Structure 1
Amino acid sequence: MIFDFNKNADISVWKIVDDRVMGGISQGRFSLTDEGYGKFHGLVTTESNGGFSSVDYNFNTLEVGSKDKLKVRLKGDGKIYQLRVKAFSSDRHNYIKEISTSGDWETFEIPLAYMYPSWRGNKLNIPNFDKDQITSITILIANGKRENFEILLDSIELIKS
């Protein structure tokens, strides 16, 4: 288990990163619901050259294999989000998989090898995820328009193959 959201979970280890780091005005929030779910919500706007909000969880190095998967249980709001991982905390780029949410509780199993490299919204000309470790997970919304968002997180696991 990478992170199990519950009523006693310490969500202070999750950090919001909005486009404010580059002059934007989007604003995300992260809290724990009464039921014990992680709630990432807020407003994304493209004003002031902005357009994204994210919540990051950095952790001690977790060894992964070439066929391992991430299993994420969540309830979105019908919008598209990105699930991102970093192999090394010093990496500038992330590895990304877009998730189209339905508005219902869903479980996504994402092979790490399907995650493509990206930096500042641009796909990089390097291989998909092929590392032997991960050090962070991010949930990001950046759909190129002004919109409110809300996603509930139940659990994030690594499935070893």
Structure 2
Amino acid sequence: MQTLFDFQSAASASHWVAVNDVVMGGESLGRVEITGGKLRFSGSLSLANNGGFASARAREQHFDFSDFRHVLMRVRGDGRHYQLRLATDARHRGITVSYGAPFATTAGEWIIVRIGLDSLTASVRGTSLDGPPLDVSSIREIGLLINDKAAGSFSLEVDWIAVE
């Protein structure tokens, strides 16, 4: 196992930002905080104005996952469903392609989420694509997304993110 983020240092957390549906006219509010050695992704999801997503993203990354098969995360959630998202330099009609897989949380409990890199599916702005395939040697962004179509507050804590 190789740890990518442990949130114990400023360097581990420095690239994480929130990106919400307000970029498309929505009203969701998601924020990213690093406190007590944990990443906290929280806020409120709104379905107004065709909205309904909030995300936390670590941009400007340069990871090669060629020697790995899974992403692992230790998380404590609120019982809602989230997604792991990866991005490379792949584009569809000039827009960055995201590769995602869903995961469930158990309210108030720390769990280990294990997602196979081969289970990630391509999409652009929520629309599924048949490709391009994920280039695991060129990961440029790692993120978390909530878009479960349920308005209201959400909270996800992340202790660490690793690959195996």
| TM-score (norm: length of structure 2) | 0.87
Does structure 1 conserve the Cα–Cα contact (< 8 Å) formed by 2:88 and 2:135?
no
CA shift in 2, pair 1:87/1:66, >3 Å: farther
Distance 2:135 2:90 in 1: 16
Which residues of structure 2 form unaligned runs of 5+? none
Does structure 1 conserve the Cα–Cα contact (< 8 Å) formed by 2:68 and 2:163?
no
Q: Which residue, 3, 6, 15 being the options, matches 2:5? A: 3
- Secondary structure (helix, strand or coil) at the match of 1:129 reads coil
Q: Which structure 2 residues correspond to residues 1-161 of structure 1 after superposition, within 5 A?
A: 1-6=3-8, 8-10=9-11, 11-33=13-35, 35-65=36-66, 67-88=68-89, 92-103=96-107, 104-126=109-131, 129-159=134-164
Counterpart residue type for residue 64 of structure 1: F
Alpha-carbon deviation of 1:130? 4.8
Does structure 2 conserve the Cα–Cα contact (< 8 Å) formed by 1:114 and 1:128?
no
Alpha-carbon deviation of 1:68? 2.1
Encode CA deviations 1:101-151: one digit per residue, 9 max, x unaligned: 112101112111111111111211126535422111110101113110000
- Secondary structure (helix, strand or coil) at the match of 1:54 reads strand
- Secondary structure (helix, strand or coil) at the match of 1:133 reads coil
Does structure 2 conserve the Cα–Cα contact (< 8 Å) formed by 1:66 and 1:130?
no
Counterpart residue type for residue 126 of structure 1: G
Does structure 2 conserve the Cα–Cα contact (< 8 Å) formed by 1:66 and 1:113?
no
Alpha-carbon deviation of 1:20? 0.5
Counterpart residue type for residue 40 of structure 2: K
Which residues of structure 1 form unaligned runs of 5+? none
Counterpart residue type for residue 151 of structure 1: L
Cα RMSD (Å): 1.9
Distance 1:156 1:131 in 2: 16
Distance 2:74 2:88 in 1: 22
Encode CA deviations 1:2-27: one digit per residue, 9 max, x unaligned: 11123x44534211100000111110
| TM-score (norm: length of structure 1) | 0.88
Question: Percent same amino acid among aligned pairs?
Answer: 32
